[in-house]
């Protein structure tokens, strides 16, 4: 099999993930030329000032011309529009990928807009609650998983090239079916965000009653929920709409488990509560053992 080389990269969307990719490439793949584009003129200006790319172009089609790899780093609801804008500049052998948090809907949208092109959806499972080109950093993908979801028609050399690219940025790569990815992420990411937005919204209503005591006396648990709920609202709006079937199925199971805990509290069932909390604590410890979080006190926060 002939090995593909990524010598020219186009990044469409220069927010947190797109700007982090640009920074990581500059640091770890210095021979790769990086061309950037964002639909926002303000973001393009900031990206140019920061020197994120070798060039930041106003035109999406121009940005992808002659690219070996194009990465769409836009909200999942904007994938089709971004793909349409860049389509006139694409070569047939260009690899087109993305970083969206839902995969089946993205694969469908890109296949419809870009028939005959090499489309290999991907999802680097990394990020922060911050957004914008200033928020990115080169080490964002270190030790994190990037899930690639190629269809059966994807050329093996293109999948290998995308795998090599993400590994060069420090990520660990896994390959899975798009629908399975969406169910996994509904559990590990989408539902937690939905819960965080809900709890913070409920607390906001309670704050009016308690004269800001909810905010003033926030303990660690509530503080961590507010961090998650500070994430980009447009991105998460699109994620929930794009992955609604998996999210609703997971939410149904969560509601059932919540009812079990509610009954245990009402009945004073100490054994049930302790057993549940012991089992779930073990999951937390497994996450730390896997290297996906910091075991230091207070989640490794610097004070």
Which pLDDT tens digit goes with each residue over 254-301? 999 999 999 999 999 999 999 999 988 887 787 777 776 666 655 555
Question: Average pLDDT in the 117-128 region?
Answer: 93
Report which of residues 215 and 196 the model is more confident about.
196
Looking at residue 116, its pLDDT comes to 93
Q: What is the pTM of this model?
A: 0.82
Mean pLDDT score across all residues of the chain: 89
Residue 259 to residue 253: CA distance in whole angstroms: 10
Q: Dig out the tokens for 213 from the structure.
A: 């005591």
Do residues 74 and 13 touch, judged by C-beta distance below 8 A?
yes
Query: What single string gives the DSSP state of each residue in 173-191?
Result: EEE--HHHHHHHHIIIIIH
% of the chain with per-residue pLDDT over 90: 70
Question: What phi, psi does 141 have (nearest 5°)?
Answer: -95, 0
């Amino acid at each position: 099999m002939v090995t593909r080389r990524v010598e020219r990269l186009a990044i469409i969307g220069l927010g947190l993930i797109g700007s982090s990719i640009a920074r990581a490439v500059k640091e770890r793949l210095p021979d790769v030329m990086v061309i950037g584009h964002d639909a926002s003129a303000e973001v393009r200006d900031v990206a140019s000032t920061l020197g994120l790319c070798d060039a930041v172009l106003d035109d999406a089609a121009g940005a992808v011309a002659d690219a070996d790899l194009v990465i769409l780093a836009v909200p999942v609801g904007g994938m089709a529009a971004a793909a349409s804008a860049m389509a006139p500049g694409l070569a047939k052998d260009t690899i087109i990928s993305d970083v969206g948090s839902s995969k089946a809907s993205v694969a469908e949208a890109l296949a419809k807009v870009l028939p005959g092109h090499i489309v290999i959806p991907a999802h680097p499972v990394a990020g922060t609650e911050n957004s914008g080109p200033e928020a990115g950093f080169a080490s964002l993908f270190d030790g994190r998983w990037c899930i690639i979801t190629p269809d059966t028609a994807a050329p093996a050399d293109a999948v290998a090239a995308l795998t090599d690219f993400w590994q060069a940025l420090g990520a660990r790569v896994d390959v899975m079916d798009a629908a399975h990815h969406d169910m996994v992420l509904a559990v590990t990411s989408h539902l937690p965000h939905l819960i965080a937005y809900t709890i913070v919204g409920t607390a906001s209503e309670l704050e009016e009653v308690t004269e800001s005591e909810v905010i003033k006396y926030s303990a660690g648990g509530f503080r961590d929920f507010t961090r998650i709920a500070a994430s980009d609202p447009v991105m998460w709006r699109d994620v929930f709409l794009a992955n609604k079937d998996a999210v609703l199925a997971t939410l149904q199971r969560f509601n059932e488990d919540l009812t079990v805990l509610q009954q245990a509290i009402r009945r004073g069932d100490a054994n049930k509560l302790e057993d549940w909390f012991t089992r779930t604590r073990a999951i937390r410890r497994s996450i730390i053992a896997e290297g996906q979080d910091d075991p230091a006190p207070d989640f490794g926060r610097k004070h």
